[in-house]
Structures are given as structure tokens and as C-alpha cells.
């Protein structure tokens, strides 16, 4: 199937780096007009300059929890490009550690950014998508949202909720033509985990690491295909399902997975030191 987003406007949150930036590049290759949203303007400007398609890119420095500001973004984007067709809820926040060691405000912000904001932004964008000929909402969830992860309890909660919200919304909109889907990656080779590697759980690194570009490719596939969810890697998705359904199994295999993750983490740290 030929992929073509010419004439489509794609909004991407958390667009200044990592998966968001890779997703912007992917949609740009397929002709989309882009609205790139992140808190920091400088990195957005650098990405827009790299893309070198000034007539097709708008940048918006915005915290995704600012829903009033997001409504203004929608109004500007629609006025400039004439339609809004795809929303990629990618922005995320994670402060790692047991609940008792994380500041209460940070716990609340994880829910605000990872769950509350995508729900509210989705609600605000729906009237625009209802007028689109190729509408889609793609949520960037996580393997941590498929099975409870100790040390990431609140992050797991937010991503679990985002997946369930997407599933329920897909049913609500089943007759509307609006595609709703989620991608649930494991560890991604971006600064989101690599810059904070010592705080990332060993369990996380027990799963194969994917690239931001691979996640972006999956987002494109979800926006154009029939699947409602994909896990990355798919085998890890099956594993998270088993450990969710059978908690005793999860506890039994956890030490083995943690040892594997420890080895991977040590290798990555040694690799980073040598570069």
C-alpha cells in the first residue's frame, strides 16, 4: 500500500527529540504538514530547520498540560493548513523510583503528562478529526503499561490508562472512521532512558532495545493500517501479557530477567564511556 500524507496535518506532542522528532521526520517524508509541539522552542526550531520544509511546518512551544493553549494551537493550525488529521500523543514524563522515594508533585505530573493530557487533547481535537478524510489518533504507550513494573508504579499506571483509554475510544468511534491505536515500545535508544541509565530498572533492559526510528515507522503503520495496537518487540508484548495474567510467573522469572538486564546495562555503560 502506498503511504501518502500529502494534504494531511499531523500534530505531534513531545516532538523536539527522540521518538517525537523521528516521527516528525517520518511523516515529513510522506508529505504531511506538521505541527510540532514541545516545551522548548530551541530544539523545535532546530528540527524545523533540519526538515527544511518551512511552508509545511509550524512549531508550538507548549506544555501539553496547558489545554487552553492547545486549543489555540488547534485554531492556528487549522487556519494555516486547512485541516487537522492526525494526533500523535507522544509527550511523556518519568521520574523513576519506588513511590515512597519520589516527590508527590512528580507523581502527579506523571499522571498529568502521560494520561490526563492525552485524554484532554484527544477530546479537543475530535471536532477537527471528524471533518478529516484520513483521521487518526496514535498514542505512544509502553510495555510498562502492559504489566505492572515495580519502581515505575505511577508511570505504569499512566501508560496502562492510556492504552485502555485508546481501546475504549476506538470502540466509541468505531463507526466514525477515526482510527485510534497505540504503540507500546520497550526500552528505546533515546535520552529518555539513556541519559538516566543508572535510574532505569534492570528489568527494563532485559528487553531488546528499539530505535526511535523503528517506533516512528510503527506509528506510520498504525495511522495507515487496521491494527489497534502493536508492541515492540512483539515477543516482549506476549511476555508482558503472560506476566500480567499470571503474576506468580512474573515474580518467578523476574530475577532471571533482571540479571539479563544488568548485563545489558553494564555493556551500554561501558560502550558510552568508550565513545
Helix %, strand %, coil % for the chain, to 5? 55, 15, 30
Question: How many helices and strands (H and E) does the chain possess?
Answer: 10, 7
The Cα–Cα gap between 177 and 199 comes to 42
Identify the helix (H) or strand (E) that includes residue 41.
helix 41-51
Are the C-beta atoms of 17 and 190 separated by less than 8 Å?
yes
Cα–Cα nearest to 141, from 91, 204, 77: 91
Question: What is the full DSSP assignment across 49-118?
Answer: HHHT-GGGEEEEE--TT-HHHHHHHHHHHHHHHS---EEEE-------S-GGGS-HHHHHHHHIIIIIHH
Annotated active-site residue in 30, 155, 238, 244: 155
Q: At which residue does the C-alpha cell 491494527 appear?
A: 227
Calpha distance 188→205 (Å, rounded): 10
155 is catalytic: yes
SS3 133: coil
User: In a 3-state reduction of DSSP, which class is residue 206?
Assistant: helix
Rounded-to-integer distance, Cα 22 and Cα 212, Å: 6
Positions marked active-site: 155
Amino acid at each position: 500500500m502506498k503511504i501518502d500524507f500529502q494534504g494531511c496535518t499531523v500534530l505531534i506532542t513531545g516532538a523536539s527529540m527522540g521518538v517525537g522528532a523521528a516521527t516528525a521526520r517520518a511523516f515529513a517524508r510522506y508529505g504531511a504538514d506538521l505541527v510540532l509541539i514541545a516545551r522548548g522552542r530551541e530544539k523545535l526550531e532546530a528540527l524545523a530547520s533540519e526538515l527544511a520544509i518551512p511552508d509545511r511546518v509550524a512549531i508550538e512551544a507548549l506544555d501539553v498540560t496547558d489545554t487552553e493553549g492547545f486549543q489555540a494551537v488547534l485554531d492556528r493550525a487549522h487556519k494555516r493548513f486547512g485541516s487537522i488529521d492526525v494526533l500523535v500523543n507522544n509527550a511523556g514524563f518519568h521520574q523513576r523510583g519506588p513511590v515512597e522515594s519520589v516527590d508527590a508533585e512528580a507523581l502527579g505530573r506523571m499522571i498529568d503528562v502521560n494520561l490526563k493530557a492525552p485524554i484532554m487533547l484527544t477530546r479537543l481535537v475530535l471536532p477537527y478529526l471528524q471533518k478529516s478524510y484520513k483521521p487518526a489518533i496514535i498514542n505512544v504507550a509502553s510495555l510498562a503499561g502492559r504489566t505492572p513494573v515495580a519502581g515505575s508504579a505511577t508511570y505504569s499506571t499512566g501508560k496502562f490508562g492510556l492504552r485502555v483509554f485508546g481501546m475504549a475510544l476506538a470502540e466509541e468511534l468505531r463507526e466514525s472512521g477515526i482510527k485510534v491505536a497505540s504503540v507500546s515500545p520497550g526500552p528505546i535508544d533515546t535520552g529518555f532512558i539513556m541519559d538516566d541509565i543508572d535510574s532505569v530498572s534492570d528489568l527494563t533492559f532485559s528487553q531488546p532495545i528499539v530505535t526511535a526510528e523503528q517506533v516512528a515507522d510503527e506509528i506510520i503503520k498504525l495511522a495507515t493500517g487496521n491494527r489497534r495496537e502493536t508492541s515492540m518487540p512483539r515477543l516482549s508484548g506476549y511476555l508482558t501479557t503472560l506476566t500480567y495474567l499470571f503474576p506468580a510467573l512474573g515474580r518467578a522469572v523476574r530475577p532471571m530477567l533482571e540479571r539479563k538486564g544488568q548485563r545489558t546495562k553494564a555493556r551500554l555503560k561501558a560502550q558510552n564511556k568508550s565513545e
